[in-house]
Amino acid sequence: MQCKPLEVQVGDKGIERAIKHLKRKMAAEGILRELKRRRHYMKPSVKKRKKQSEAARRRRKRVRPEII
């Protein structure tokens, strides 16, 4: 699967704004999350446990009553 490369135009607003825009695009595409995930090898059993614990955390968060 080929993906279209991310491009950011550097205009008269400056390089800092272009970098910020690039980071926002990368976050929206999920590139940063994927890089962090691939940084270390995770055994399939550990991956399965982590996935289950994340799902349980999301369920607890959804069921928890709102504190105002």
Tokens 């940063």, residue located: 32
6 touches 19 (CB < 8 A):
no
Distance from C-alpha of 43 to C-alpha of 31, rounded to nearest angstrom: 21
DSSP, res 64:
S
Distance from C-alpha of 21 to C-alpha of 11, rounded to nearest angstrom: 12
Would you list the domain boundaries of the chain?
A: 15-63
59 pLDDT higher than 90: yes
Distance from C-alpha of 32 to C-alpha of 39, rounded to nearest angstrom: 11
**10-58 pLDDT tens trace:** 888 889 999 999 999 989 888 888 888 889 898 999 999 999 999 999 9
